[in-house]
């Protein structure tokens, strides 16, 4: 096979070409077809395969997650029951609107029963959360260390939820003069002043919840218009 055999190729009479020349031409045609097939078929198929593999991995992870959830479904249901019980118990510790006056009286009586002197007992403005309202009560009481501690303990034992916050205790000295016919004595005793914010909570009734949702819906609509 010579170079001239390739220079004088007559494709109209390819059948008469020498066998070596035919072999080289067939090899070249095969390489061209292989190259074109690689670029137009293989690359696209390879990209599709990569996408399919990624999708398979994603579906496998979703399957494993769902499988784990299915296995633990019974435990999740039990946990939900326990959460609902706990929530119900806590909700029962919140008075309704009609019981708030009685609760305020209980707080006041808890202090008086310990011999404390109230200088301030002022309910503040309610603030509403998702399903309950919080009422702060500013209090200022005078008494001994022991009585103040007992008062705080009594508050924690109330059937309704009441918390003492922002507690500030200062010492005050009082002087008691006891005059007798024979002697005059001056006794001094240390009195503590406790200032705090007692916070109590009540749950919102159906009408209040409906009004709250209505207000929130109107606020969202107004915000959407501005946006």
Please give the span between the terminal C-alpha atoms of the chain, in angstroms, as a whole number. 82
Question: Looking at residue 187, what DSSP letter applies?
Answer: E
- Average pLDDT of the segment spanning 76-98: 69
Neighbour-count burial for 88-115, b at 16+ CB within 10 Å, e otherwise? eeeeeebbeeeebeebbebbeebbeebe
Distance CA 64, CA 71 (A): 10
Where would I find the beta strands (DSSP E) of 40-126?
117-123
Pairing of strands 132-143, 117-123: antiparallel
**Predicted local distance difference test score (pLDDT) of residue 185:** 39
Contact 152, 164 (CB under 8 A): yes
Residue 137, Cβ density class (10 Å: 0-12 exposed, 13-18 middle, ≥19 buried): buried
- Average pLDDT of the segment spanning 120-148: 89
Of 70, 110, 62, 92, residue with least CA distance to 161? 92
Domains along the chain? 1-71 (no CATH), 97-210 (3.30.70.60)
- Average pLDDT of the segment spanning 93-109: 78
Q: For the ranges 22-36, 76-90, 119-133, 168-182, which has the lowest average pLDDT?
A: 168-182
**Predicted local distance difference test score (pLDDT) of residue 154:** 93
Q: Which two tokens stand for residue 52?
A: 């399919």
Would you give the distance in Å from CA 218 to the centre of its chain? Answer: 25
Question: Looking at residue 201, what DSSP letter applies?
Answer: E
Distance CA 163, CA 201 (A): 9
**Chain position carrying tokens 């399903």:** 131
∠ CA(90), CA(91), CA(92), 5° rounding?
90
What are the tens digits of pLDDT across the range 52-67?
A: 888 888 888 888 888 8
Of 40, 156, 38, residue with least CA distance to 106? 156
Pairing of strands 162-179, 132-143: unpaired
- Average pLDDT of the segment spanning 74-87: 74
């Amino acid at each position: 096979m010579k170079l001239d055999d390739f220079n004088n190729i007559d494709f109209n009479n390819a059948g008469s070409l020498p066998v070596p020349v035919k072999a080289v031409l067939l090899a070249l045609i095969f390489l061209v077809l292989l190259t074109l097939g690689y670029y137009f078929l293989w690359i696209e198929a390879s990209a599709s395969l990569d996408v399919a593999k990624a999708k398979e991995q994603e579906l496998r992870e979703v399957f494993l997650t769902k499988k784990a959830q299915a296995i633990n479904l019974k435990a999740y249901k039990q946990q939900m029951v326990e959460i609902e019980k706990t929530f119900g118990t806590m909700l029962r510790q919140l008075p309704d609107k009609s019981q708030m006056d009685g609760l305020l009286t209980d707080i006041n009586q808890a202090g008086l029963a310990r011999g404390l002197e109230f200088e301030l007992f002022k309910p503040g403005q309610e603030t509403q959360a998702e399903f309950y309202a919080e009422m702060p009560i500013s209090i200022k009481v005078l008494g001994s260390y022991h009585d103040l501690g007992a008062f705080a303990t009594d508050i924690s034992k109330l059937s309704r939820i009441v918390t003492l916050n922002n507690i500030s205790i200062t010492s005050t000295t009082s002087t008691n003069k006891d005059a007798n016919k024979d002697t005059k004595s001056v006794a001094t005793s240390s009195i503590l002043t406790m200032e705090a914010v007692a916070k109590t909570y009540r749950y919102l009734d159906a009408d209040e919840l409906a009004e709250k949702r209505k207000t929130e819906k109107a606020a969202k609509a107004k915000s959407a218009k501005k946006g």
